[in-house]
Amino acid sequence: MNRPLLLSIFSAIGFSLSFPPFPTGFFAYFTLVPFFWLLDPLRPKAAFRWGYITGLFMSLGTIYWIYKPTLPGAVAAILYHPLFFGLFGWAYAYVRQRLGEKTIFAAPFLWVSMEYLKSLGEVGFPWVTIGYTQTYYLSLIQYAEYTSVYGVSFWIVWLNVCVYQIFRFSQDRRRWATYGGAFAALFIGAWLQGRMTIPEALPERESARVAVVQGNIDPYLKWDKNLREMNFAVYERLTLQVGRENADLIIWPETATPTYLLHDRAGLMRVRRLVLALNIPILTGTMDYIRLPDRSYKTFNSITLIDHGPGPYQKYAKMHLVPFGERVPWEDDIPLLKTLLSRFEMGEGNFSPGEEVIIFDVPIRRAAEQATNGGRIKVGGVICFESIFSDLVRQFVRRGAQLLVVVTNDGWFGRTVAPYQHAQIAVFRAVENRISVARSANTGVSMTIDPYGRVRKQTPIFEEAVFIDELPLRNETTFFTKYGHVFARSITALTILMMVMTAWTLKRRIS
């Protein structure tokens, strides 16, 4: 096996093992070092090729699970995703023509810019952002309230730079000590900031008792009309089991009701009877539609709040749909694309994206105890894939959400790493916005998270489960919530400037 291929594989293995559910997030601190060694002698074209190959191995190790619902979709994603790693390799080699050995210090800027660009647009996919490797190390990620997850990625790549330099100057004691000291300073600085930020116990504040229901319904069977009664019966039984424990809100997962609930009189009455019997509102995932003037329909992946009233009920339609899974990207602009892809089993749905962020106004039963908010709380609900987009999630908090709910159905991915990766991503949404998160997943992982990222309760996967937790309501607005991706955009702007200066320098050399 040749040296470049060996370095590529080593880097990809370490990268893949850095992500949940593996408890080896510390691999991220040095997993890019072989990648840097691989890129160092290469020209831009070769660096793009080896960046793509390394990204391909990384994708196979981290997002292979897409094959479970759609094999063609997995092939497309695993071939597309490495393009960004190829772009990083090309940019690294291009800048090296100007900076030489100092290019290693540009790596954190190039990497974060690549990750940020990977999150944008209809086909954005920031799932394996390297910062997510640190969700089990809460003392190291608290500054995400200013920088979002991209600040943690920036920090991780700097650690890799230090390790790279330590090996490079292993025979030079002065430089070895310099970079060893820099590694220690970066690590200890982040750890101290986190330790000073996380309180041992949360101060007294308003709270809400939330019941999370995990029905564990096979997603491949739940749409069978013959099994619809079984689906409702499971959620009724689990809800009654927990509903008499003085909860303020009961949460069912994404598409918990296998029907267009708000247009299904019988199904809606069943849920309403539960709400009235328990005197607790239910926030549930469901399908929805609207009829257009031309008699066609738009369908939505939605959540709705069934409260004590006769309706109409508050609802939110998923805005960022899974590309090729729930909607073909750009299908309104390029209808031919949908026609071509329909020949393959890409798993594409026929949903339309929602148009606005909705905050649910939830009446709670302990009104007398919650006098400052009139016995109501503001809840933001995001659906599945949306929870990996930090900028979208912060919009719910900016609109006044005091509690964040994530509803999802990760049962499509079986017993792979996907349910754990997806669940741990929510830790960052809590830290970034200093907000409690209640996550209800059809087959798990369901969990509750406090504003500092601490997982309070958590379920196994593929088991029925129900639990109650009393979650503190948000009482502050973070820098990230208020201003968004200032950090990532600034890093990207500096990277663009660096690329422009490199092009200008190379042009001068030629002339």
Is 20 within 8 Å of 40 (Cβ atoms)?
A: no
**Per DSSP, what are the bridge partners of residue 407?**
383, 440
E strands, 342-425, in order: 359-363, 376-383, 403-408
Provide the Cα torsion 417, 419, 424, 428; round to 10°. 120
* Residue 348 pLDDT grade (very low, low, confident, very high; cuts 50, 70, 90): very low
Average pLDDT, the chain: 92
Percentage of residues of the chain with pLDDT beyond 70: 93
Please choose, from the candidates 402, 422, 404, 425, the residue with its C-alpha nearest in 3D space to the C-alpha of residue 414. 422
Specify burial of residue 246 (Cβ count, 10 A radius: 0-12, 13-18, 19+).
Answer: middle
Least confident among 14-18, 118-122, 302-306, 448-452: 118-122
Catalytic center residues: 254, 318, 384
Is 429 within 8 Å of 404 (Cβ atoms)?
A: yes
What is the rounded average pLDDT of the residues 426-453? 98
Distance (Å, whole) CA 447 – CA 406 = 10
The shares of helix, strand and coil residues in the chain, as percent rounded to the nearest 5, are 50, 15, 30
pLDDT for the residue 392:
97
| Bond into 281 cis (ω within 30) | no
* β-sheet with 359-363: strand ranges across: 359-363, 376-383, 403-408, 437-441, 447-449, 455-458
Q: What are phi and psi of 380, to 5 degrees?
A: -100, 130
pTM attached to this predicted model: 0.94
Domain(s) of CATH 3.60.110.10: residues in the chain: 207-319+354-474
Task: Considering only residues 266 and 324, tell me which one the structure prediction assigns the higher pLDDT.
Answer: 266
How does DSSP classify residue 411? Answer: G
pLDDT in tens, 70-125: 888 888 889 999 999 999 999 999 999 999 999 999 999 999 999 999 999 888 99
Helix (H) or strand (E) holding 108: helix 107-118
Least confident among 144-148, 265-269, 338-342: 338-342
Helix (H) or strand (E) holding 299: strand 297-306
Specify burial of residue 227 (Cβ count, 10 A radius: 0-12, 13-18, 19+).
Answer: middle
pLDDT for the residue 340:
56
pLDDT in tens, 22-36: 999 999 999 999 999
User: Using only C-alpha atoms, what is the Rg of the chain?
Assistant: 24
Three-class SS state of 262: helix
How does DSSP classify residue 289? Answer: E
Residue 326: pLDDT over 70: yes
Superfamily classification of domain 207-319+354-474: Carbon-nitrogen hydrolase (3.60.110.10)
Task: Considering only residues 167 and 1, tell me which one the structure prediction assigns the higher pLDDT.
Answer: 167
* Residue 338 pLDDT grade (very low, low, confident, very high; cuts 50, 70, 90): low
Report how far Cα 504 is from the mean position of its chain's Cα atoms: 38
Distance (Å, whole) CA 190 – CA 240 = 45
What is the rounded average pLDDT of the residues 12-16? 98
Residue ranges of alpha helices (H) inside 289-417 are 335-341, 390-398
Please choose, from the candidates 419, 441, 288, 272, the residue with its C-alpha nearest in 3D space to the C-alpha of residue 351. 288
What is the rounded average pLDDT of the residues 481-506? 96
Residue 379: pLDDT over 60: yes
Helix (H) or strand (E) holding 180: helix 173-197
Tokens of 112: 């974060």
Residue 16: pLDDT over 70: yes
Helix (H) or strand (E) holding 250: strand 249-251
Q: What are phi and psi of 96, to 5 degrees?
A: -65, -25
Distance (Å, whole) CA 168 – CA 178 = 12
Residue 365: pLDDT over 90: no
